[in-house]
Amino acid sequence: MTDSLHWWQTGVIYQIYPRSFQDSNGDGVGDLNGVLQRLDYLQSLNIRTLWFSPIYPSPMHDFGYDVADYCAVHPLFGSLADFDRLLAATHARGMKLVLDLVPNHTSDEHPWFVESRSSRDNPKRDWYIWRDPAPDGGPPNNWLSFFGGPAWTFDEQTQQYYLHQFVKQQPELNYRNPAVLQAMLDAMRFWLERGVDGFRVDVIWLMIKDALLRDEPADPAWDGVNPHASLQHIYSADQPEVHDVIRAMRRLLDSYDDRMMVGEIYLPNDRLMTYYGAALDECHLPFNFQLINAKWDAQTVRRLVDQYEADLPPGGWPNWVMGNHDQHRLATRVGPQQARVANMLLLTLRGTPTCYYGDEIGMENVPIPLDRVQDPPAVNQPEIAHIVGRDPARTPMQWDASPNGGFAPAGVRTWLPLADDYAIRNVAEQERQPTSMLHFFRALTALRASTPALYAGAYAPVDTGVDEVFAYTRSHGDERYLVVLNFGQGNHRLDLRALGERAAIALSTGMLSSGDIRLRQVYITPNEGLLLRLI
C-alpha cells in the first residue's frame, strides 16, 4: 500500500519565508541564491517538500502577497534563471518545490488592475469587483478587511468602490468572469511547465463572493478584540461556487504528472472537508490549522485529532500544521518546554506535516521595536498589534553566532531585527549539541521518513488514564509504534499493558534512542514525549 502513496502524502513540507531565510547579496533581505546555499541543510532535515512564500514582483505592501506579475521573480529575490537553478538543485536532491499562488487578489500595480481602474468601460473593468457607493455615498456593504477598516476603497477617478479584504493595495479579482480564471490558469501553467511541483493556494476559500454582495450579520460571540471577527463571514467567504474554480485548477494540475495543491482554508471541519471535493477532485490537501489554534492540553488535542480523523472524507488524506508566517511562533504559543512535544505530535500524527522555518531550532516570537513594525495589520491597528502583528514570527533565520546570525553579512541592516538570543539559539550551536532541538527534530524526521507505520500507518488513540498525557498508536502491517506525550508538568506512571509486554525506545524528547521498557510501568516526566516501537 505504501508504494501507491504520493510524495505529498509521505513527505514533510517545510515552509520557507524567502525574505528571512538567507541573504546572499547583503541587502538585508533573503533571496533565492541564499536558499540554494542552504539546500544541504534542508536536505539534512529529511524534508521532502519546500514551500516558498511569494517570490513574485510586488510593491510589498503585504510582503509579496500583493503580486504585480505572476510570471516573474522579484529582483529582490533574484531572477528566473536563479529560480530555475534552485529548482534543478532541489530536484537533484530528491526534493520537491511548491510555490505560493495568490489568485484571490493582485497588487494594485498589476497591469490588469491598472487597466481595470482606468475607466468604467475598460475591458478589464469586470476583472475586479467594482460597485457604486451606497445611497449615502459610503461603501456598498458592511464587509471588513482582515487588516482593519472597511473592505472597500473609493476610486475618485471612476467614482466607484473596489473590494479588498486585505490592504487597499490588494484589489480582489472577480472569478465570476471566466476570463479571470483562464488568466490565472495560464500563470499556473507557466510555473508547471518550468517544473514546479505544485502550489500552496492563498486564501482559496475566499475566491468567490456572494453574487449580491449582501451585508454580513454581526457575530454575537465576538470577543471585542479583532474588528474583523465582529461579523460572520457568510457572504465574503466559502461560497458554493468557489468549488468550480478549485476543480478547474485541479484539472490543470492533473493534466501534469504528479503535481499537487494545498489550499489555505480557515474553516471548521464540516466546511473544511468540502475542499477535498465531492469526488476528491479539489485540493489534495486543505490545510488543517486546528493545532495552531487549539488550547494546548492533552484532552483538547486528543479530541480534535479524533474528530478530524472521523470527519475526513473517504480517501481524503489528512494533514497537520503547527505554524506559519501568519501565526505566533510555535515555541511562543506552547512554551519552549513543550516545543519538542509539539514537534513529536506534528511529526507522528497520520498525514502530511507542514513545518515552519526556524521551528526546528525552537525560534520564538521576536519583539519588534515600534519604529520597525512593518506588517500592515499591526501598523493599521496598533492597539491590537501584539495579537495580530506577524513580524515577530518572520524574523531572520538564526544560523550562527556571527553578527546578523549568518543570515546576512555583518553590518547590514536586516529587514526585520534578529532575536536577541540568536548567538545562543542558532543552527551552528545546535549542531554541536547532541541533544539539541535540531538533532531531535532531525532524528524525528529521519525515523518518520524510514518508517511506514509513521508516514502511512493507521492512527488509534490510547487511553492512558492520565489527563495530561495523550497517547496513540500508528500501525502498518506488523509494525506498531506508540507515541506518549506529556502535555503537563507532572511525573506519571502509566499502565499500558493492554498494548503488550515490552516496547523499544525509538526516540524520546530527551534524545534516548535505545533500550526497552515494560509497558505495565511506563514512566513519563514533565514535558516528555516518547516514541516507542511495540515488540
The yes or no reply on residue 202 touching ligand NOJ (CB under 6 A) is yes
Gyration radius from the chain CA atoms: 24
Measured from the CB of residue 308, what is the shortest distance to ligand NOJ in angstroms? 21
Report the residue from 23, 31, 62, 216 that binds ligand NOJ according to the rule CB under 6 A.
Answer: 62
Give the residue among 291, 347, 483 at the shortest CA–CA distance from 47.
Answer: 347
The yes or no reply on residue 326 touching ligand NOJ (CB under 6 A) is yes
Measured from the CB of residue 166, what is the shortest distance to ligand NOJ in angstroms? 4
Q: Is 172 a catalytic residue?
A: no
Report the residue from 17, 21, 65, 70 that binds ligand NOJ according to the rule CB under 6 A.
Answer: 65
Annotated active-site residue in 62, 66, 264, 359: 264
Burial class of residue 65 (count of CB atoms within 10 Å of its CB; 0-12, 13-18, 19+): buried
Nearer to ligand NOJ among residue 203 and residue 534 (C-beta)? 203
Nearer to ligand NOJ among residue 76 and residue 203 (C-beta)? 203
Nearer to ligand NOJ among residue 282 and residue 326 (C-beta)? 326
Burial class of residue 59 (count of CB atoms within 10 Å of its CB; 0-12, 13-18, 19+): middle
Give the residue among 470, 529, 396, 525 at the shortest CA–CA distance from 27.
Answer: 396
Burial class of residue 507 (count of CB atoms within 10 Å of its CB; 0-12, 13-18, 19+): buried
Nearer to ligand NOJ among residue 104 and residue 473 (C-beta)? 104
Nearer to ligand NOJ among residue 52 and residue 459 (C-beta)? 52
Give Cβ neighbours of residue 294 (< 8 Å, ≥ 6 apart). Answer: 300, 301, 304
* Grid coordinates belonging to 148: 482593519
The yes or no reply on residue 52 touching ligand NOJ (CB under 6 A) is no
Nearer to ligand NOJ among residue 96 and residue 325 (C-beta)? 325
- What's the longest Cα–Cα distance across the chain? 78
Annotated active-site residue in 202, 326, 359, 429: 202
The yes or no reply on residue 391 touching ligand NOJ (CB under 6 A) is no
Q: Is 264 a catalytic residue?
A: yes
How many whole angstroms separate alpha carbon 339 and alpha carbon 332? 9
Measured from the CB of residue 100, what is the shortest distance to ligand NOJ in angstroms? 8
The full length of the chain comes to 535
Which 393-422 residues touch ligand NOJ, going by CB under 6 A? Answer: none
Q: How many CB atoms lie within 10 A of CB 299?
A: 13
Measured from the CB of residue 202, what is the shortest distance to ligand NOJ in angstroms? 5
Backbone angles phi, psi at 298, to 5 degrees: -60, -45
Measured from the CB of residue 67, what is the shortest distance to ligand NOJ in angstroms? 9
The yes or no reply on residue 203 touching ligand NOJ (CB under 6 A) is yes
Measured from the CB of residue 24, what is the shortest distance to ligand NOJ in angstroms? 24
The yes or no reply on residue 101 touching ligand NOJ (CB under 6 A) is no
Nearer to ligand NOJ among residue 333 and residue 448 (C-beta)? 333
Are 285 and 8 a contacting pair, CB within 8 Å?
yes
Q: How many CB atoms lie within 10 A of CB 268?
A: 9
Give the residue among 15, 21, 16 at the shortest CA–CA distance from 416.
Answer: 21
Nearer to ligand NOJ among residue 31 and residue 202 (C-beta)? 202
DSSP three-state, residue 315:
coil
- Taking CA atoms, 151 is separated from 63, 154, 379, in Å, by 19, 10, 17
Measured from the CB of residue 104, what is the shortest distance to ligand NOJ in angstroms? 7
How many whole angstroms separate alpha carbon 63 and alpha carbon 425? 26
Total residues in contact with ligand NOJ, by rule CB under 6 A? 9
How many whole angstroms separate alpha carbon 214 and alpha carbon 236? 9
The yes or no reply on residue 289 touching ligand NOJ (CB under 6 A) is no
List the x/- string, 254-283, binding to ligand NOJ by CB under 6 A. Answer: ----------x-------------------
Instruction: Please give the angle made by the CA atoms of 294, 105 and 383, to the nearest 5 degrees.
Output: 50
Measured from the CB of residue 134, what is the shortest distance to ligand NOJ in angstroms? 26
Which 133-172 residues touch ligand NOJ, going by CB under 6 A? Answer: 166
* Alpha carbon of residue 386 to chain centroid: 20
Catalytic residues: 202, 264
Q: Which parts of this chain interact with ligand NOJ (CB under 6 A)?
A: 62, 65, 102, 166, 202-203, 264, 325-326
